[in-house]
Amino acid sequence: MAPHVHAASESWFAISLLLALLLMDLLYLRGWLRLRSASARVIPPWRVISFSLGLFLIWIAVGSPLASMDERMLTVHMIQHLLLMTFAAPLILLGLPVMPFLRGLPRQFAQAVGPLFQRPSVQSFGRMLVRPTFSWLAATATLVGWHIPRIFTLALQSGAWHLFEQATFLVAGLLFWWPVVQPWPNAPREPRWSILLYLFLATLPCDILSGFLIFSERVAYPVYLSVSRQSDLSVLADQECAGALMWTCVTIVYLVPAAILSTRLLAPWNSRADLAQSEFLGIVTPQSSPKRVEVL
């Protein structure tokens, strides 16, 4: 593809993505305002900010000028993956998006799709997707699979595969963080201490991959040897930087919910403190979980 045609297609994609994300944000805000008119305590404003920030990070990773640099630097490629899977996904879930979207959708659309999500088979499939075992496997398979050199090169050289790769990172991130955040309508089924083990086990594939990138004495992705570089870093130094970035970000980000959960588990049982911390983590307790949400 000619350079000017490729640039034009990237520009149209960036604009289309921005419009789609703005539409999602408007639907969320519309639903949130409707919920707020009924009860000011349903979803606090900080969750709205969290959701909007998550959408903004998606655009930064995929539609901003940063996205055009991932073909030249592995570090930029790693930043994209971290933004989608480690930052944007939990921020979106902390916004408790299900209820606002149900209220924000047009009435005709809600009437058409509402009964579909009430089917037992659909609900069972949804519960299976967000079980910690499946979520961990999905996130690990996505992380490891896309960093296999042959598959990595395929995604880097094909626009369609590259978009599919980024979409799978976002979806895998949402699945991974769902058992941790547990947004409505999720009901906790596993003991909360198991999430600490879940987070610890999730760091292992990241540590192995980042350790390999940092300490390897050879270039893992030779495709970067044949592209023009916009940095003084060598390909091997760029690889080490990408691995260090992944190692640091994952360790810090996973430590935050682990510390909050540990504090909650070690604190004396107090209904008021438990409710406040549950609200911070996005947990809907059986006492506070709504039995039914009207979408019309």
Q: Give the H/E segment covering residue 275.
A: helix 271-281
Q: What is the pLDDT of residue 188?
A: 66
Q: What is the pLDDT of residue 296?
A: 38
| Tokens found for residue 189 | 């089924």
- Does residue 84 lie in a domain region? yes
- Asked if the peptide bond before residue 185 counts as cis, ω within 30 degrees of 0, the response is yes
Q: How far apart are CA 9 and CA 22, in angstroms?
A: 20
Structural domain tally of the chain? Answer: 1
pLDDT in tens, the chain (296 residues): 434 334 445 678 888 999 999 999 999 999 999 888 876 567 899 999 999 999 999 999 998 888 888 888 999 999 999 999 999 999 999 999 988 988 888 877 777 776 777 778 877 888 888 899 999 999 999 999 999 999 999 998 888 999 999 999 999 999 999 999 988 777 666 677 899 999 999 999 999 999 999 999 899 999 998 877 666 788 999 999 999 999 999 999 999 999 999 988 887 654 444 444 444 444 443 334 444 444 43
Q: What are phi and psi of 96, to 5 degrees?
A: 45, 65
DSSP state at residue 76: H
> 4-19, pLDDT tens digit by residue?
334 445 678 888 999 9
Q: What is the pLDDT of residue 286?
A: 37
- Does residue 110 lie in a domain region? yes
Q: What is the pLDDT of residue 281?
A: 44
The residue whose two tokens read 């980024």 is: 166
- Does residue 177 lie in a domain region? yes
214 near 243, Cβ under 8 Å?
A: yes
- Does residue 289 lie in a domain region? no
Q: How far apart are CA 77 and CA 16, in angstroms?
A: 21
- Does residue 19 lie in a domain region? yes
Domain that includes residue 37, residue range = 3-281
- Does residue 94 lie in a domain region? yes
- Does residue 235 lie in a domain region? yes
Q: What is the pLDDT of residue 69?
A: 87
Q: What is the pLDDT of residue 78?
A: 95
Residue 238 CB-half CA count within 13 A: 25
Name the residue among 180, 183, 172 with its Cα closest to residue 51: 183
Q: What is the pLDDT of residue 173?
A: 97
> 166-200, pLDDT tens digit by residue?
999 999 999 999 999 988 777 666 677 899 999 99
The residue whose two tokens read 């000017």 is: 4
What percentage of the chain's residues is helix, strand, coil (to nearest 5)? 75, 0, 25
The residue whose two tokens read 């596993």 is: 190
Q: What is the pLDDT of residue 287?
A: 38
63 near 17, Cβ under 8 Å?
A: yes
Q: What is the pLDDT of residue 14?
A: 84
- Does residue 287 lie in a domain region? no
**Per residue in 153-180, is it b (16+ CB within 10 Å) or e — as a string?**
eebbeeeeebeebbebbbbbbbbbbbbb
